[in-house]
Amino acid sequence: MENEKAEEALLLLEEKLDKTAEVLRNEFAAIRAGRANPHVLDKILVEAYGGMSPLNQLGNIAVSDARCLVISPWDKSLLKSIEKAIQSSNIGINPTNDGTVIRLVFPELTEERRKDLVKQVRKMGEESKVAARNNRREAMDTVKKLKNGKEISEDEAKNLEIDIEKMVGDCIEGLDKIVAAKEKELMTV
């Protein structure tokens, strides 16, 4: 393809579609599936040293067994702040503070809770597909502008539209696979 703007539009679309899938994976990492997963703590901010710091930057987070996380802060004076941040984060787990480490024991998920999480996962997946479709619309608008501005021919515009449709179709297929994998993980007892 000779036209740089058309090439740029395709690269931008590819970047946005990759970012959409990455965001979905990151959101899914924060959903607990009954197993201890340090990523559920990624978005927790702790009041420390006069500001807010991410929990994962204040100590070691280790998986001690299938359903227990152990948080060992580098500064023991932060134990209370970390405990408070976890309680207010609404992740549904009560921390246990023994004076040196904080333990988070993940309870087994009930069937009802699993189904609620699957609904949440499907909703997030649908939102990601909507984002991908919005990216497609933007790319198609760019192609239309290039065609109307006589920067590309009718044939080039048609070929670009086919490429865009294929890229978005592949992305949506990938998003469906990500959702299906998370659903399977959630429903596995």
Q: 54-84: per-residue pLDDT in tens? A: 888 888 888 888 788 899 999 888 888 888 8
DSSP 52-103: EEEGGGSEEEEEEETTEEEEEESSGGGHHHHHHHHHHTTSS--EEE-SS-EE
Specify the 3-state DSSP secondary structure of 48: strand
Question: Quick check: 65 and 72 in contact, CB under 8 A?
Answer: no
User: Quick check: do 4-30+110-187 and 38-105 share a fold?
Assistant: no
Average pLDDT over residues 163-183: 94
Q: Decide if pLDDT at 1 tops 50.
A: no
Q: Decide if pLDDT at 125 tops 80.
A: yes
Neighbours of 48 (CB within 10 A): 19
Report the greatest alpha carbon distance in the chain.
71
pTM: 0.71
State in words which class domain 38-105 has.
alpha beta
| Confidence band, pLDDT 50/70/90 cuts, at residue 2 | low
Question: Quick check: 56 and 38 in contact, CB under 8 A?
Answer: yes
Residue 126 or residue 1, greater confidence: 126
**Strand pairing class (51-54; 45-48):** antiparallel
Q: Decide if pLDDT at 164 tops 50.
A: yes
Note the pLDDT tens digit of each residue in 29-54: 777 666 777 877 888 888 888 888 88
Residue 27 or residue 31, greater confidence: 27
| Confidence band, pLDDT 50/70/90 cuts, at residue 117 | confident
- pLDDT for res 32: 66
What tokens appear for 133 in the block? 């479709």
Give the mean pLDDT of the chain: 87
The percent helix, strand, coil of the chain (3-state, each to 5) is 60, 15, 25
Q: Which fold has domain 4-30+110-187?
A: Topoisomerase I; Chain A, domain 4 (1.10.132)
Residue 107 or residue 178, greater confidence: 178
| Confidence band, pLDDT 50/70/90 cuts, at residue 187 | confident
Domain parsing of the chain, residue ranges: 4-30+110-187, 38-105
